[in-house]
Structure 1
């Protein structure tokens, strides 16, 4: 395999704002040989997530930042093409941290988050395993569970047309909650209400988005599934009901603003957490690996029964991954965003 080209991205510098070619270099190298305890995995689909942008920075996080000159970290789904490991047989489809590259080496002695072998035959298309049946679907499930929306309560979901928010809103509706989304643009809002079944959706790109949000939540907000942060979250804090719950899944509006000294510009309405006796819980999906099988089983059942709608945005070509991340953070896509690496 040493003569086969491995296309990949290496992180050369910490980005400020959008990720550039100077930050994330596209290059080609030889595919490494494997040794005992290793397997070679060919990436088929690469997951593009806002957390990729966090990993490029050196902000304090739940996982160490990607080291400079290292292959860019990223989740992917692929197939084992060579193996000296019994647990990763040749031909098996797997999901895990493949990195932003064509080929990765799975080393049993160095895996903090090991690769998972997928069922054969596959119960869903490969992209689903980095989407609704992967970390994004699990995040939605956990966040709704932690927020515990009850019948008749109002739950707000920011980034409602995205990979996590679109699933979270549907799960909350099944619990009997009134679900209001926030999305970027009229087309996304129509999708969130008309296709996903939300009760209302606020266009964050409209000049009057604050008024829209107030009108869409006349009884206040009981649960906030927070994916965005910034001024949107600040306004939401001002509409919390007594005993409200916030599940903090992401702060996508702030990731490009990090300059090495400051992660956010502050929340003016944070005092409402105290005044309304609200609870705020941050969570990271990697902390709940022991529940993956249970949750994926439930989500898979819901998909098979038509009780859950999932949409993928597939961008062809690993060479387009950097631009795809920038466009994803800017809110140009809907649903789960993946890069198709193998034709």
Structure 2
């Protein structure tokens, strides 16, 4: 965290968040074995920024996103949103926060009711949360369609009549209908063609400026994160390993996992494709039995004895921090 950030109260504050699930049929000393998909994650999200959350598939990114919007309840830790602890709020108590805390899902088709028209789908937020009189709702929906670049004539169409990119635009329209403060974007472009990805990312950037939105942008795609993010947090096996300003982190990564993750991604510039790509060696460890010490030490080319014995912590109060005993220069 920079000095300027330290003086500003975060919009969202995660304090040692753990998301754990009992594993059926597995017990240790009479107790159920827990799979910790997210393990003691602390993170701040500031108003107006786009915080990119990146890591390999299965590292816990999506679980963390679902936990933030309270589709999952944290096992331990605290979620502070707009200065209010929402960690243990019930469904009724959470209802006022639902309009200010929204989510865009990876697969828009499965998140849209196939039997409901666009008008019905986009009208639902206004009806359920009583955001507008019923007579005004068609006009509100028409305005949403304008904002996401879809024709007003599509109001009576069903989800299967749209392309993947158009369905994602519907998902974005549904999220912004609430006029939220924070939108958690869970792999919003990973299922789309590259050309369509760029269009959706540009739309999200335009809406952010127009509506003063804050994004938590979850993705395993380095290119999308680099394009849209202000800051970046890197996740590995349920834990954060590095957090920093996007430009600084991409130019000078401190954690070996971050550097290898960046080098494993093909560069967008064809002139840079001579740069050797470095695949990440080894297999991702089992979350039921994570390695001792640093969780990345089983795959890290720089691991030493201390890495195997002592778990590194992510330093607080630094604008660019890495959970590594021997951070890269």
TM-score normalised by length of structure 2: 0.30
Question: Normalising to structure 1: TM-score of the pair?
Answer: 0.29
> Which of structures 1 and 2 has the larger relative contact order (alpha carbons within 8 angstroms, sep 6+)?
2
